[in-house]
A = this chain, B = another copy of it.
């Protein structure tokens, strides 16, 4: 994967909120989170927390996993930006000798 994965917040905004004509204020109320929390999420300032994923899943009747997977790909992509280089490969597991 070479291109930065889409932020789940962007997807939520484009594919859920906009089609339903939901304002950040209203959606936040319905999700049961603060307007700030949702705003930061849809503006990609915060990542998707497991709790937020559950809320979205309950509100939109979609699978939690689908949302979590989006975040995981992003998290992994970001983490790979700072790959550790001081990792020593484990000795290869071999067929038992003797």
Contacts and interface: CB of A to CB of B under 8 A. Distances in A.
Interface string A59-98: 1110011001100100110111011101111110100000
Contacts of A69: 72
B93 A20 contact: yes
Interface stretch (A2-10, A24-32, A34-42): A24-32
Given A19-B93, A76-B68, A88 B54 contact: no
Contact of A50 (B30, B79, B93): B79
B54 A84 contact: yes
Given A31-B88, A32-B88, A60-B90, 10 more contacts: A22-B90, A50-B76, A51-B84, A53-B79, A58-B83, A58-B89, A59-B88, A59-B89, A60-B89, A68-B75
